[in-house]
Amino acid sequence: MVPLSTSQNQARRGPTVVVLPKRVAGLEENSVVLCHQITTLDRIKITERIGMLPKDIMKDIETALLAALGIRT
């Protein structure tokens, strides 16, 4: 899993972040996906789906994850 942040300072971290505009997938604030902070989470802690991201944003997240891991396609 990768965390989200509403800090606009995080948006300047480069190719390992993806900006999510307010209202995308039900977000109440502009947010940033922090792909450089990959972590694990026990599935039991995931209790409900609150939204889905469009395919184009998921592609951007994939690219940011590859950059964070040092993998190039």
Q: What is the pLDDT of residues 27-43, one digit of tens each?
A: 889 999 999 999 998 99
In CATH, the number for domain 4-69 is 2.30.30.110
- Tens digit of pLDDT for each residue in 2-59? 999 998 888 777 899 999 999 888 888 999 999 999 999 899 988 888 788 999 999 9
pTM for this entry: 0.84
Q: Copy the structure tokens of residue 70.
A: 């040092």
Q: CB atoms < 10 A from the CB of 46, how many?
A: 9
Residue 4's SS3 state is: strand
Q: What is the DSSP letter of 59?
A: H
